[in-house]
Amino acid sequence: MTTLVTGGTGFVGQHATAILAGQDERVLALDPLPIREELRQAGVEYVRGDVSDLRSLLAILAEHGVDRVIHLGSLLAPASAEDPYRALEVNCAGTQNVFEAARILRLANVTWASSMAVFGHSAAALAEGEGELLTEHTPHSPDNAYGATKSYCEHISRAYRQRYGVNCVGLRIGLVYGAGKERGEGLFTEQLFQRPALGQPGVVPYGDDVYCWQYVRDVAEAFTLVSCLDSTDNAVYNLPGTVLTMVGAVETVRALVPSAELTVEPGVLGFPYRIDASPLTALLGDSLRLTSIRDGFAATIEGIAARAGR
């Protein structure tokens, strides 16, 4: 089985390619940026490319005999806000190119990254009182370019499933954390993890907020597991995580790094966090990992320190 991971040099992509390589799969990382040397040594093959070029994508998939695709390549929220037209090219056209290539080449599976951003930041209001959980069927209400592109992708994926029989499955990502995060709307976690890991004082924003924390290794594993499935009932699934306030996150870091100097600023970003992930849990069962907050935070801090040679 040969798997191509788009965005294979990115935050989640690096973990997904490493997991597959460790299972003796043939893995290709498609990305404009080169992969890290340790992934190359692990057997991951690098292909320079851009999903917004359908002809090139088809040629790469055919040349390498790709059976399935894990599609993680996209312009994240900050970059999408700066260049919404490029977000359209990469996130919408690029994702549809992957679906179209799967249709033409009859690929076994496309597992692709959607986002909780399809609900918009206002979805956090669902936490008020009794509230409702955000499900796979909750109506979309994106309030930025990134969320809008992911909403489009969810709708067109259903068309490819229903009309053309393409086995494409979206997994909605929330606030993903871990060592090596360099881009995205959740980059503020750099203050929470990197500063204490390097012995530096940090100022943590959005201290009044609540998040559904998702450890990067868990997210990557979920993509690899779903990519092995021949079919699924749903076109899209919510990824699980652990709900914790920002204040609770800071307290956990302080317990792990007693010397941490962290100042918490007030504010709310409004990430959706009341998430129903029970359908994916039922689908994958015990194979679906959910790392505890303490273990995930500890691994993140240790990973950052190790990368810095501390």
What pLDDT is attached to residue 148?
A: 97
Model confidence pLDDT, tens digit, residues 238-269: 999 999 999 999 999 999 999 999 999 999 88
- Amino acid identity of residue 138, one-letter, is T
- Is the separation of the CB atoms in 5 and 14 below 8 Å? no
What pLDDT is attached to residue 111?
A: 99
In 3D, which of 116, 80, 74 has the Cα closest to residue 98? 74
What pLDDT is attached to residue 10?
A: 94
Q: At 48, list the tokens.
A: 């320079």
Which pLDDT band, with edges at 50, 70 and 90, does 130 fall under?
A: very low
Q: What is the pTM of this model?
A: 0.95
Q: What percent of the chain has pLDDT over 90?
A: 83
pLDDT at 107 exceeding the cut of 70:
yes
What pLDDT is attached to residue 145?
A: 96
Which pLDDT band, with edges at 50, 70 and 90, does 129 fall under?
A: very low
Q: Span 151-178, mean pLDDT?
A: 98
Which of 76-80, 161-165, 176-180, 196-200 bottoms out in mean pLDDT, i.e. has the lowest? 76-80
Which pLDDT band, with edges at 50, 70 and 90, does 51 fall under?
A: very high
The CA-atom distances, in angstroms, between 237 and each of 27, 172, 190, 257 are 24, 6, 28, 35
> CA 6, CA 72: separation in Å to the nearest integer?
5
CATH of 2-307, one of 3.40.640.10, 2.60.40.10, 3.40.630.10, 3.40.50.720: 3.40.50.720
10 Å Cβ neighbour count for 137?
8
